[in-house]
């Protein structure tokens, strides 16, 4: 099978010729190419060359699975939903960029957001990023779309599909970025109806942003990230009230357009897994980071959603190739049973991961992950 066919078969809960493998390669590419994180994020030609180097070192992956066009310095400084510390600007040049938690949106601004989220977002971005105006936002959006299109075409020329068209956040997470963690969770108790109204408006905006990303790139999968609504932070009761309605609406609306949602869920979602069974069959890839019980996810969702993950960061950095191989074989045997599984890293491959360990992940999928008729 070709890589795209292998991916599509798994997403549709079938059994391809073997388990697809697609670790998330980002900052580790710079380390392997011998350039700093500042160069990687700030110089897109060097950054894309570093990703090429990583591919040449690894080889055999079934997808271009990087978020690079969405995490360049320019993208983060103009379009990022949170303030950011970049390498060489407040943190060491070879450090991974860091988000800064701060209250930017005030509670009295909910009506403005609800009236027009796109207009409010321009105001918000100009406030959070110094010197940014509507023209800079538009120009950077077009520049990022073009960079991503080039990235998709570059990998397609090698016969490798790209995993996602765009990188978006669930409405719950996005609103919490704007309000800040502490203030937003107070809002859930103090003004719950206003929060729900805002979440509905944001969901509509995320839907249209996803459609634009698909049209610009040609890739019919979109990244929907969620962390702050995980069971680590939100009870099932709160999840049902504030998260599930917009999550369900977004996934269903996109699926009707022929777009698959890649649910990149960090932190522990185990208690929320039964609710995900309500999503349309084959509408999502559930991408887990090593915290959620992926084996329980398989048990509950085997007939509903493709599952992706979840080789943990600690094994990739401190383990041996044998440790990686052993864990990957367990994933293939249990989560890969019957199909509907993509082997990947639990979130990004860490910047200090051992190359031989990442190589072991890819090699195990290719050698051990074969489905037999």
Q: What is the pLDDT of residues 24-74, one digit of tens each?
A: 999 999 998 999 999 999 999 999 999 988 877 777 899 999 899 999 999
Top CATH class of 3-368 equals: alpha beta
Whole-prediction pTM = 0.96
Instruction: Report, as an integer, the average pLDDT of 234-249.
Output: 98
Cβ(53)–Cβ(10) under 8 Å? no
Token readout for 8 is 């599509």
* Residue keyed to tokens 């890839």: 285
- CA dist 314 and 289 (Å) reads 12
- DSSP one-letter string for 298-350: HHHHTTT-EEEEEE-HHHHHHS-HHHHHHHHHHHHHHTSTTS-EEEEESSBPP
pLDDT at 57: 73
Strands 306-311 and 167-169: unpaired
Instruction: Report, as an integer, the average pLDDT of 9-17.
Output: 98
User: pLDDT category, 155, cuts 50, 70, 90?
Assistant: very high
Percent of the chain with pLDDT over 70: 100
Where are any strands of DSSP class E within 206-322? Answer: 221-226, 260-265, 284-288, 306-311
pLDDT at 130: 85
Q: Mean pLDDT, the chain, as a whole number?
A: 95
């Amino acid at each position: 099978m070709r890589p795209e066919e292998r991916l599509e078969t798994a997403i549709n809960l079938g059994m391809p010729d073997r388990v697809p493998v697609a670790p998330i390669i980002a900052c580790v590419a710079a380390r392997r190419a011998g350039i700093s994180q500042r160069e990687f994020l700030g110089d897109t030609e060097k950054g894309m060359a570093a990703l090429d180097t990583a591919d040449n070192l690894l080889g055999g992956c079934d997808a271009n699975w990087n978020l690079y066009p969405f995490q360049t310095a320019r993208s983060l400084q103009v379009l990022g939903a949170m303030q950011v510390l970049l390498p060489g600007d407040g943190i060491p040049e070879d450090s991974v960029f860091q988000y800064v938690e701060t209250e930017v949106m005030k509670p009295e601004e909910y009506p403005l957001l609800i009236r027009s989220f796109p207009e409010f977002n321009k105001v918000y971005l100009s406030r959070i990023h110094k010197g940014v105006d509507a023209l800079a936002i538009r120009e950077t959006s077009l520049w990022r779309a073009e960079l991503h299109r080039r990235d998709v075409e570059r990998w397609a020329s090698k016969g490798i599909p790209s995993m996602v068209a765009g990188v978006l956040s669930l409405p719950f997470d996005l609103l919490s970025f704007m309000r800040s963690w502490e203030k937003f969770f107070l809002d859930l108790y103090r003004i719950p109806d206003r929060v729900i109204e805002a979440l509905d408006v944001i969901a509509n905006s995320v839907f249209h942003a996803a459609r634009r990303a698909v049209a610009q790139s040609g890739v019919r999968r979109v990244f929907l990230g969620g962390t702050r609504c995980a069971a680590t932070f939100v009870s099932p009761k709160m999840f049902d009230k504030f998260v599930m309605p917009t999550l369900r609406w977004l996934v269903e609306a996109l699926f009707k357009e022929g777009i698959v949602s890649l649910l990149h869920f960090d932190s522990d979602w185990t208690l929320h897994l039964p609710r995900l069974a309500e999503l349309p069959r084959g509408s999502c890839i559930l991408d887990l980071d090593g915290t959620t019980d992926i084996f329980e996810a398989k048990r509950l969702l085997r007939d509903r959603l493709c599952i992706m993950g979840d080789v943990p960061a600690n094994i990739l950095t401190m383990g041996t190739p044998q440790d990686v191989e052993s864990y990957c074989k367990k994933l293939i045997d249990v989560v890969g049973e019957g199909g509907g599984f993509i082997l990947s890293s639990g979130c990004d491959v860490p910047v200090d991961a051992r190359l031989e360990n990442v190589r072991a992940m890819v090699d195990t999928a290719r050698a051990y992950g074969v489905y037999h008729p």
